[in-house]
Amino acid sequence: MSRMVSTGRTSRRGFLGTSAASTAAVAASSVVPYFAWESRAFANQSANDRPRIGCIGVGSMGSGDAQQHAQFGDILAVCDVDSRRAESAKTSDKIGKGKADAYRDYSKILERSDIDVVSVVTTDPWHVKIAIEALQAGKHVFCQKPLSLTLEENQLARAAAEKFPKLQFFIGTQQRSQKDQFLRAVNMVHKGLLGDIQKVTVGINGGPTGGPFQVATPPAELNWDMWLGQAPKVDYREKRCHYEFRWWYEYSGGKFTDWGAHHVDIAQWALREDTKGKGPIEIDGSDAKHPVPFKDGYPTVDDCYNTSQDFAVKCKFASGVEMIVDSRSDNGILFEGTKGRLFVNRQKCSGTPIAENWDKDQFTDADVVTLYKGKPFEGHKQNFYRCIREGGLPVSDVFSHVVAMNTCHLAAIAARLGRTIQWDPASEKIVGDEQAAGFFARKPREGFEIPRV
């Protein structure tokens, strides 16, 4: 549904929205719509045509994203459960410029008919709930990784994306826009230049250890109950909050979902294991250590970081390829094929195939356009706003991301239980292990339920 208010001026939906017919026409056409534009082009649009943006979550990552969004549109509102952060974003000359409204309740942004785009950069347990509600309110959605907290949330997010196909639902996995590193590696694997891939090692580093942390009074500027959201109500401890939430299974999957959302995504993209019905069939978490004792997959203490800090989780695909997600290798992805090996991370793409340019004349602009789903190569957020304008799938789409996130969550579940679990990619269910299957979803606190569309 559209929440757009009709005015006598140039329709902003004419700029922002696309019809199903035009989207289909672009997809069916062999002609790629090349035309040069970037953030400056948006900046030069009339005020009537520029996207109007609401930023939900404006902490360290959120404020950085907001500054980038501001290059493409006008930020009318910011929101954070920490009022200090919201006010900082409001007054920032790179974000709200003193003109944006500041809220502590994100629903105030979703209620506004003058906001077209919502940026969701909250803690993980809020991502899917806010994203789905934003789609229901007629907003395009940029959501930071990792999209989900559970396997069930992956399915809920995908269902919402399918129900609102005219709205962009974009994931902040910016590695998909690194041409000389990850795109080159993915293309080389796709072209078969490394031969048949036999093994992939995904290095995502280990999580920190810490605690015990003392109970404290929440800061006056923080709405702790709202911060917790769907998670169980617990006492405030400073190291549970803000950036440190990543090291508690109550709010995250630790490194499995933090860095895994990036590197597992790239690995499965290269392996063509990134579409619905794909993914590993067996996940071995027996080689994983945690900083606190566990029983039945749950930590037995509540005052210390509890996500795994040392692990090597083996994921087996139906093709026979083994992917090891570990904390002991260099951060990055090592592809090992019958013809050669290639290592890639954010700083480099290396190995004999790269040194000898095995992909000479096979990594062309056309190849990059293919990886970009028919769009020209450009920066991550440029791609998001182009897709808002033109339609089509963005380079970081929900559908491929949930397949990668399935693997990330399965790795965390197997590590928590310390054993091998079986996964049916077709039905998206853990099979033959009732206890492991119980981690498929979590019951949210009353009042924080996720919409089912």
Tell which residue, 132, 143, 139, has the closest CA to residue 112.
Answer: 139
Domain map of the chain by residue range? 12-176, 178-363+398-437
| pLDDT for residue 27 | 35
Ramachandran angles phi, psi of 258, nearest 5°: -70, -70
| pLDDT for residue 40 | 52
**Residue position matching structure tokens 């791609």:** 383
**Paired strand residues for 299:** 294
Is 17 or 131 the better-scoring residue by pLDDT? 131
Tell which residue, 321, 331, 332, 317, has the closest CA to residue 182.
Answer: 332
Average confidence score pLDDT of the chain: 92
| pLDDT for residue 22 | 35
Tell which residue, 91, 133, 85, 83, has the closest CA to residue 112.
Answer: 133
Q: How far apart are CA 76 and CA 72, in angstroms?
A: 13
| pLDDT for residue 49 | 77
| pLDDT for residue 37 | 42
Decide whether 12-176 matches 178-363+398-437 in CATH topology: no
3-state secondary structure of 444: coil
Residue 197 predicted with pLDDT over 60: yes
| % of the chain residues with pLDDT over 70 | 89
**57 torsion bin: left (phi>0), alpha (psi -120 to 50), beta (else):** left
Q: Averaged over 355-361, what is the pLDDT? A: 98
- As given in the structure block, the two tokens for residue 25 are 């026409």
DSSP state for residue 222 in the 8-state scheme: B
pLDDT tens column, 275-322: 999 999 999 999 999 999 999 999 999 999 999 999 999 999 999 999
Residue 384 predicted with pLDDT over 90: yes
- Output the CA torsion 25→49→141→268 (10° steps): 50
Check the CA dihedral 91-97-99-102 and report its sign.
negative
Q: Which residues 6+ apart lie within 8 Å of 355 measured at CB?
A: none
For the segment(s) 12-176, the CATH number from 3.20.80.10, 3.40.50.720, 3.30.2130.10, 3.30.450.80 is 3.40.50.720
Q: How far apart are CA 105 and CA 223, in angstroms?
A: 10
Tell which residue, 375, 358, 353, has the closest CA to residue 366.
Answer: 375
CATH topology of domain 178-363+398-437: Dihydrodipicolinate Reductase; domain 2 (3.30.360)
Residue 30 predicted with pLDDT over 70: no
Whole-model pTM? 0.91
Residue 17 predicted with pLDDT over 50: no
**Paired strand residues for 129:** none
- As given in the structure block, the two tokens for residue 358 are 């095995």
- Other CB atoms within a 10 A radius of the CB of residue 449 amount to 11
pLDDT tens column, 215-273: 999 999 999 999 999 999 999 999 999 999 999 999 999 999 999 999 999 999 999 99
Q: Which residues 6+ apart lie within 8 Å of 4 measured at CB?
A: 12, 13, 113, 116, 138
Q: How far apart are CA 66 and CA 57, in angstroms?
A: 9
Is 3 or 176 the better-scoring residue by pLDDT? 176
Q: How far apart are CA 206 and CA 293, in angstroms?
A: 17
| pLDDT for residue 48 | 63
Q: How far apart are CA 168 and CA 421, in angstroms?
A: 34
- As given in the structure block, the two tokens for residue 280 are 């590993």
Tell which residue, 286, 282, 280, 316, has the closest CA to residue 415.
Answer: 286
Q: Averaged over 81-106, what is the pLDDT? A: 98
DSSP state for residue 120 in the 8-state scheme: E
Of the chain, the end-to-end C-alpha distance in Å amounts to 13
Q: Tally the C-alpha atoms within 13 A of residue 439's C-alpha that lie toward its C-beta.
A: 25
| pLDDT for residue 41 | 53
- Output the CA torsion 158→162→165→168 (10° steps): 0
| pLDDT for residue 47 | 60
